[in-house]
Structure 1
C-alpha cells in the first residue's frame, strides 16, 4: 500500500500541493501513534497490565459475572484512553489467559475485548485514528469531542455488553478459584510506568496537541528502560507495518479524491442533518468499512460529512460498523493474531453473524442517541 501511494505521488496522480496538505495533517497523528505504541509496549513490559488483571481477579471475589464486568470496564478504559489497538494487542491476551487459568470459557472474554476495542472507540479523539482525523475538521477540544459523542459512545458500550451477556450468560455464571499473582521483576519500573500513565491520561484530554504528552512520556520511559532494562528496547516494538499501511492508505485515498472520488460518492452519502440523513451516512460508512477497512472508508466519505453531526454519524459508522468482516478494522486483525498465538481458534462464520447482529442493533441506536443528545427535536 505504501508503494502504491508512493507510485501515485511519483507519477503525478497525487498533486504535490495536495500531498503537502495531507502530510501537514497526518504526520502529527502518525507520530502520536508511534509514541503511544512505545508507551504501551514499555508499560506492558513493566508488568503494569498484569498487575491490573491480578487486581481484577481479586476484585471479582470468585464471581465469573463480576469478573467479566471488570473485563468490560478494563476494555472500555484501555480503548477510550489508550486506543483500540492497545485493547486488541495487550488487553486481549491477558484477559484470555485469565479466563483459561480460572477454567472459564475464554471466548466471551475474547469477544468482549474485540467488540469493545471497536465500539468503545467513539468517546475521545485518542481512542481511534479516525477520531483524530475528525477532530482536526471539527476544531474541538477533547472535552468538546466527548460532549458531541458521549451519547453514541454510551450506546457503543452498553448495547454490545448486553448482547454479549445474552449470548454467553450461561458461561458467565458460577465461581472461580484463587489465581496466582504475577510478581514484577522491577518494582521501580512498575511504579514509574503507573505514574507515567497517571500523568499522561489527563494530559491527553487537556487540549494540548496529543503528540506532545505522548512523545514526552515515550522519551521518559525509553530513558528509564535504557538505564534499568535496555534489553526491552527493540526496533520491533515500533508499529512498522501499520504505519506503512496507514501512510499508503492516506496517499491512495487522497489520490482518488483528486480524481473525482468526492463527486462519485456524493449521491450515496446524501446531505442534511435529519435523522434519516445521519443514519444513511452511518450505514454507508459501516458498509464501506466492512468491504474495505474503516480508515479508507472514513477518508473516502469525510468530504461528504459537511457538519459536526454528519461527521459524528460517519464516525459511528466506521467505528461501530467494523464488527463483521475480519479486515474491517486493523484492531480485529491484531486481535486474531494474538488469539492464534494463544492457540485459541475463532470461527469466522460465527464471528460474522454475531457482528452483523451487533451492528444492526447498535448502529441505529447510536445514531438516534447522537441526534437526540445534540438537541434535535
Structure 2
C-alpha cells in the first residue's frame, strides 16, 4: 500500500501511460482491456484508488457504457439491414464524375452518421463505403477517407449519443436531450462548414473532374425503409426519454431488438455477430480506464488541472477550457482526458457551469483531429483504411490537422458562447 501522495501520483501516471500505449499499439490485436483490467486492479491494491472510489466510478460509468453497447448493436443491425449498402449506392449515383460533389456528399453522410449512430459506426462502417464509392467512380479516395476520419470526431458534438465523451458529460450538465442538442447545433454546423472549406483547399489536387468516368451505374439499391424508420423513431425516443424518466439505453435497446428480429429471421446476421458488435471487451476497458484515471484525478495532477481550468462562462474562459481539453486529448487521448477534466471541473462544488462542460466537449471532440493518438476513433480509422488498401499518410494527416483543428476549436467555442447568450 503506497501512502506517499507523490508516489501514488507517479504510479497512477505510469498506469495510465501503460494502458494508453497498449490501447494504441494493440499488439497481436489483443483487446484494450488486456492491460487496463490488471492496471485497475493494481491501482486498487496499491492504494492509488480506494475500493469505494473504484466502485463509485464504475457505478457512475455503468449507464454510459450500457448505452454505448446498445448503440453499437444498433449500428451493426442497421448495417445488416443494408443501410450502408444503400448509402454506397446513393453516393455513387449522385456523385457521378464530380469528386467535389462526392466530397460534399461524404461530409453530409459522415456528419449525420456520426451524430445519429456514433463515431464508431462512421469509422468502421462508412470508411470502406466511401473508399469503394470513390474507386468505383474512378476518383482518388484520399479526400473522402480523411473526411470520414475528421468527421468521426468533429461531427460528434451534436447529440448526447454521438460520442462516448458526450455521454460521460451529458449527465453532469443537467440538460435535457433537446437542450443539449440546441446548444451544440451551432458549434456542430460551424465546425463542419470550416472543415469542408479546408478540405476543398487542402485536397484541391485530388478534386479534378474525372474525364472518362467508368460506365458502371450498377443495380439500384432500395432504401431500407424499416431500418431508417426505426432509427428515426429512436432519435425521437432519445429526445423525449428524459421527460419520461427513461434512460436512453432502453430506447437504443428497443430499437436494436426491433431490427434484430427480422435480421435474424432472414439470416442477415447471427446472435454471435450481434454479441460481437456490443464490443464487450471495449466496455470493460472503459470501466478499467475510469478506475485508473480516477487515481490520477484524485492526486496533485487533478488538483493542478482544477486550478488551471476556469469555471465561468465568459468567452475567454470557454476558449481556455476548450484549448486545455484539446491539448489534453492529444497528450492523454480524449477518453481519459474527458474523465480527468470532468473530475476537475466538478471537484469543488460537485457541479460545473454548463458552458465550461460543453466547451470541454468541443476540445476533446475536435482536438483529437490534430494527431493519430488523439482519439480511439482515429486509431481505429487507420486500421480500417489500411485494410481497404488506402493506408493513411502521417504527413497528410498532420498537415490537415494543423490547418483545421485550431480554427474549428476556436470557431465552435465562439459559436457555443453565442448560443449560451440566447
The TM-score, its normalising length taken from structure 2, stands at 0.82
Question: Which stretch of the first structure deviates more once superposed, 270-279 or 353-362?
Answer: 270-279
- What CA distance in whole angstroms lies between the structure 1 residues aligned with 2:217 and 2:51? 57
* Residues 17-32 of structure 1 aligned to structure 2 (within 5 Å): 17-32=52-67
CA contact (8 A) 1:271 1:304 kept: no
- Given the alignment, which residue of 223, 229, 249 partners 1:211? 249
- Given the alignment, which residue of 311, 322, 333 partners 1:282? 322
Aligned residues: CA RMSD = 2.2
> SS state of the match for residue 290, structure 2?
helix
- What CA distance in whole angstroms lies between the structure 1 residues aligned with 2:92 and 2:287? 40
CA contact (8 A) 1:289 1:328 kept: yes
Q: Match for residue 151 of structure 2?
A: 116
Q: Match for residue 250 of structure 1?
A: 290
CA contact (8 A) 1:122 1:156 kept: no
Deviations 1:284-328 (A, max 9, x none): 111110112101111111144321111111111101100122121
Shift of 1:159: 0.8
> SS state of the match for residue 124, structure 1?
coil
The TM-score, its normalising length taken from structure 1, stands at 0.91
Question: Which stretch of the first structure deviates more once superposed, 13-22 or 334-343?
Answer: 13-22
CA contact (8 A) 2:114 2:122 kept: yes
The answer to whether residue 353 in structure 2 is matched with residue 307 in structure 1 is: yes
- What CA distance in whole angstroms lies between the structure 2 residues aligned with 1:183 and 1:269? 53
Q: Match for residue 228 of structure 1?
A: 266
Shift of 1:11: 4.4
* Residues 86-97 of structure 1 aligned to structure 2 (within 5 Å): 86-97=121-132
Deviations 1:155-209 (A, max 9, x none): 221111110011123422324445454677xx8x944433322322322233342
Question: Which stretch of the first structure deviates more once superposed, 203-212 or 69-78?
Answer: 203-212
- What CA distance in whole angstroms lies between the structure 1 residues aligned with 2:218 and 2:37? 44
The answer to whether residue 99 in structure 2 is matched with residue 64 in structure 1 is: yes
- Given the alignment, which residue of 199, 205, 230 partners 1:164? 199
Q: Match for residue 364 of structure 1?
A: 410
- Given the alignment, which residue of 369, 383, 401 partners 1:337? 383
> SS state of the match for residue 161, structure 2?
helix
Question: Which stretch of the first structure deviates more once superposed, 17-26 or 124-133?
Answer: 17-26
CA contact (8 A) 1:316 1:367 kept: yes
Q: Which runs of 5+ in 1 are unaligned?
A: none
- What CA distance in whole angstroms lies between the structure 1 residues aligned with 2:235 and 2:186? 21
- What CA distance in whole angstroms lies between the structure 1 residues aligned with 2:331 and 2:165? 17
Q: Match for residue 335 of structure 2?
A: 295
Question: Which stretch of the first structure deviates more once superposed, 266-275 or 205-214?
Answer: 266-275
Q: Relative to structure 1, is the Cα distance of residues 271 and 110 closer, same or farther in structure 2, using a 3 angstrom cutoff?
A: same
- Given the alignment, which residue of 60, 80, 85 partners 1:50? 85
Question: Which stretch of the first structure deviates more once superposed, 311-320 or 162-171?
Answer: 162-171
Shift of 1:263: 1.2
Shift of 1:75: 0.5
- Given the alignment, which residue of 191, 208, 229 partners 1:195? 229
- What CA distance in whole angstroms lies between the structure 2 residues aligned with 1:286 and 1:231? 39
Q: Name the count of aligned residue pairs.
A: 373
- What CA distance in whole angstroms lies between the structure 2 residues aligned with 1:232 and 1:107? 34
